[in-house]
Structure 1
Amino acid sequence: MSTKETILKKIEILITNHFKTPEEAFAFFDKDGNKTLSISEIKELLKQAEISGFIRGIVASKLIEGYDKDGDKQINWAEFKAAIDEISK
């Protein structure tokens, strides 16, 4: 399994084991309630998914780069859902 696949699997395990729905997970990590996940909120998600602190910042940046379709440097619900759908395949 590649590093990317391993990371995505850990995120999937976190969400399915600790939250009833992806919406609940999104709301939990959206600490400021602005309906988007900032890089610091994504890092917290990665920390909870047991992603090493050494690579957490890089992974958070890559997730934003890969899923931020509107270019605001944050992940909104639609972008988060697209990522979850991809992970769940």
Structure 2
Amino acid sequence: MTTEETILNKILILITNHFATPELAFNFFDEDNDQKLTKGEIVKLLKEAEISGFIRGIVSSKLIDGYDKNTDELIDWEEFKLAIAKIKKSDS
């Protein structure tokens, strides 16, 4: 399993074990309720998913680069849903 797969699996485990739906997870980490996750909010999600502090900043940037379709440097709900769907697909 690659490092990327390991990280994505930890995120999926966090979401499925601690939240009834991905939307509840998104809303929990969207601290300012603007319906978008900032890099800082993503870092907190990664911390909760037990991703090493050393790489959280790098991983959060890579997640934004990979899933931010409208290039606003934020992850909105639609982008988050696509990311979760991709994580679930790669897990099966």
* Fold shared by both chains (TM-score > 0.5): yes
1:45-85 superposed Cα distances (whole Å, 9 cap, x missing partner): 00000000000000000000000000000000000000000
Q: Secondary structure at the match of 2:32?
A: coil
User: Any gaps of 5 or more consecutive residues in structure 2?
Assistant: none
Structure 2 equivalent of residue 73 of structure 1: 73
- Give the partner amino acid of 2:56: R
3-state secondary structure, aligned to 1:71? coil
- Using the size of structure 2 for normalisation, the TM-score is 0.96
What is the one-letter code of the residue matched to 2:54?
F
TM (norm. structure 1) is 1.00
Match in the other structure for 1:2: 2
The match for 1:39 is 39
- The code of the aligned residue for 2:47 comes to K
Aligned equivalents of 2:48, 2:6: Cα separation in 1: 15
- Give the match for residue 56 of structure 1: 56
Paired residue for 2:86?
86
Cα RMSD, aligned residues only: 0.2
* 2:15 paired residue number: 15
Per the alignment, residue 24 of structure 2 pairs with 24
Identity level (%): 66
The aligned length equals 89
5+ residue gaps in structure 1?
A: none
